[in-house]
Amino acid sequence: MAHHFANPIPAHLLMWQRVREYAVPPSMIETATARRAVGDWAGACAAARVDVDLDLRAVRHRHGTDLLTHLRADLRRLAPDLLRWHMPRIAPDGRLRPGLTISLARYRSSGATPLRLVVRTPPAWADAGQRISLALWEESGDGAPMHQPHPHPHPDRRFRLDLHRHLWDSERSGELARRCGAGVALSMAPPDRPHTPDRLHTPDRLHTPDRLHTPARPDVPDLPARPAVHDYSWASASWAAEAELLLRAEGRPRGAFTVRLGARSRAVLELVAPDDSHAPTFRPLREALPPQEAAALPVLPEAAARVLPDLELLRAGLVATDRLHPLVATVLAASGSVAASGSAAASGSEPAAGPAPRPGDPHRVECRGEVHLIALRDGALKAIDHDPAQLRREELLVALGGPALPCLRAIDEVHRNPEALPAVRERLGHGDVAGALAVVEGLLGPGAVLRDGPLREELESAAARRVDHGLFRSGLVAVHPGAGAVGGGNASGVRHAEAGHRPRLDRRTPPAMRSKRSSRARPRTGLA
């Protein structure tokens, strides 16, 4: 049954609704699935816009045949479209979280250094196309990464999927219902209170399935009275089981771990069990730890700490089951936690950008006291109720500075700023260039010539940003080209650029770069 909100729908659910509508289009899923079904894992990665930075011959030469066999098996099971579906994203636009290295699998290498299969997202300045890359992470003895420059080359501890293979492994996707808590009733907080593991209480009270108690002390700050804009629902009921998997992977049967609650707050918890015959639970750590020791504790992955967005959307009635990824929809429908025929209409809300127009859909215009039609003819949008000779005369009159026919004004407006522009912008922002062009062609026709205006600016801006991504992928620039202008070339500016941060704009930044970076079409990170 869909959950109905008394107040406006939470912002994070609206963001995920747009992400599910545009980030992984059905054409990508169909193509990647078809190629994966015949064993073409590289072709599936190409269809899902995943760049493969793997040299299997070099892997066999360096690490042996056994490791290569395990790696090939994982690559054949990899569903890159499913991986993209579950990748971490940022508010407010739902873009991929930039500059991440996420561990997918760990391998025992013949050497002393660990080896991991990782997926990387480019830095924010080079995220055009929303492409991701697949690579092997091997840390050399001196700690230097053995791959092309990346702002954060080491696998992230908070965003990791090696303990959540059901989010990318097609053969283990059936574990999703059990791991995401699909059979547990979702406890959503009312809009005027945060949905968190409850307020912090005294340390002598232990954890119960619906409440998290942590001591009020400096290393475990209180939760805010109101949630942040991008605050998601917590999956605290499964923290104990997920923490057990985490600590076991770290070689610890029991112990302390942390949960990131916000930008500057975390909970320090301890996994305990009365005896071996009882399920483990967790409680606040009884002794305060120094900040350095607390930071070194294992971090509960974000995929385990938060409720699956798809589950929230389904229970809120903001998305239909058939609009989800097929592997996700099949598992959630089979679990019985949601209705298989769920509809976004139950909430009275539609995706913000709206659907793409149908090819040849006519427009009605009031012209000189009559209602005329504008429709696609011969590959372009034309005023079909006017004689071609009359249209040529009217166009000549407009060129000489005269007033235009209402039909011609409507055609000009559709070329410059169509109603479907939000849908085009969303698709371009998520890297779906083919989908954006299909919307434009369905609206204006394949033979249309774009005119100056917001639509053309969006398409040109998307093309220009792809150059930045190409420079990053080729290794020609390790940081943004405008980073050298930061600080006038002084030492602080160089250090800021070498750290991999986005450069701050000032008066010394080249005008072309400043205009490009300040454009509305530039991606925003909104990092928490």
Length of the chain: 528
200 contacts 214 by C-beta, under 8 angstroms:
yes
Q: How many whole angstroms separate alpha carbon 492 and alpha carbon 488?
A: 9
The yes-or-no verdict on residue 434 having pLDDT over 90 is yes
| 131-145, 321-335, 376-390, 437-451: range with lowest mean pLDDT | 131-145
The yes-or-no verdict on residue 259 having pLDDT over 90 is yes
Instruction: Tell me the percentage of the chain whose pLDDT exceeds 90.
Output: 41
Mean pLDDT of the chain: 78
54 contacts 485 by C-beta, under 8 angstroms:
no
Residue with tokens 């072309």: 512
Q: What is the 3-state secondary structure (H, E, C) of 427-480?
A: HHHCCCHHHHHHHHHHHHCCCCCCCCCHHHHHHHHHHHHHHHHHHHHHCCCCCC
Pairing between β-strand 132-138 and β-strand 50-53 as defined by DSSP bridges: parallel
**Residue-wise pLDDT tens digits, 67-103:** 999 999 999 999 999 999 999 999 999 999 999 999 9
The Cα-based distances of 523 to 98, 125, 207, 459, 520 in angstroms read 10, 8, 41, 14, 8
Q: How many whole angstroms separate alpha carbon 380 and alpha carbon 441?
A: 9
Q: How many whole angstroms separate alpha carbon 507 and alpha carbon 354?
A: 39
Is residue 331 within a helix (H) or strand (E), and if so which, with residue range?
helix 326-335
Question: Which residues does 494 contact at the CB level (< 8 Å), separation at least 6?
Answer: 487
Residue with tokens 């009884």: 286
Bridge partners of 139, per DSSP, are 145
Bridge partners of 101, per DSSP, are 120
Q: How many whole angstroms separate alpha carbon 517 and alpha carbon 370?
A: 46
Peptide bond into 403 cis (omega under 30): no
The yes-or-no verdict on residue 495 having pLDDT over 50 is no
Bridge partners of 325, per DSSP, are none
Q: Considering only CA atoms, which of 453, 460, 479 is closest in space to residue 468?
A: 479
Question: Which residues does 253 contact at the CB level (< 8 Å), separation at least 6?
Answer: 247
Question: DSSP string spanning 154-204?
Answer: SPPSSS--TT-GGGTBGGGGGGHHHHTTTTSPP-PPPTTS--SS-----TT
| 76-85, 100-109, 137-146, 482-491: range with lowest mean pLDDT | 482-491
Peptide bond into 92 cis (omega under 30): yes
3-state secondary structure of 256: strand
Q: What is the 3-state secondary structure (H, E, C) of 82-127?
A: HHHHCCCEECCCCEECCCCEEEEEEECCCCCCCEEEEEECCCHHHC
| pLDDT (mean) for 224-253 | 74
**What's the confidence (pLDDT) of residue 309?**
95
162 contacts 116 by C-beta, under 8 angstroms:
yes
**What's the confidence (pLDDT) of residue 399?**
84
| pLDDT (mean) for 216-240 | 55
* Distance, first Cα to last Cα, the chain: 32
Strand locations in 250-379 (E): 255-262, 265-272, 281-284, 363-367, 370-377
Q: How many whole angstroms separate alpha carbon 430 and alpha carbon 423?
A: 11
Q: How many whole angstroms separate alpha carbon 311 and alpha carbon 342?
A: 12
3-state secondary structure of 383: strand
Pairing between β-strand 380-383 and β-strand 370-377 as defined by DSSP bridges: antiparallel
Q: How many whole angstroms separate alpha carbon 407 and alpha carbon 398?
A: 13
The yes-or-no verdict on residue 463 having pLDDT over 50 is yes
Question: 360 or 12: which carries more pLDDT confidence?
Answer: 12
Bridge partners of 272, per DSSP, are 281
Give CA torsion, residues 109, 110, 112, 114, to 10 deg.
-10
3-state secondary structure of 241: helix
Specify the pTM: 0.77
Q: How many whole angstroms separate alpha carbon 25 and alpha carbon 34?
A: 15
**Which one-letter DSSP state was computed for residue 525?**
-
| pLDDT (mean) for 437-456 | 88
Instruction: Output the CA torsion sign for 325, 330, 333, 336.
Output: negative
**Residue-wise pLDDT tens digits, 14-73:** 999 999 999 999 999 999 999 999 999 999 999 999 999 999 999 999 889 999 999 999
Query: In the numeric block, which tokens belong to residue 317?
Result: 């009635």
**What's the confidence (pLDDT) of residue 524?**
46
3-state secondary structure of 220: strand
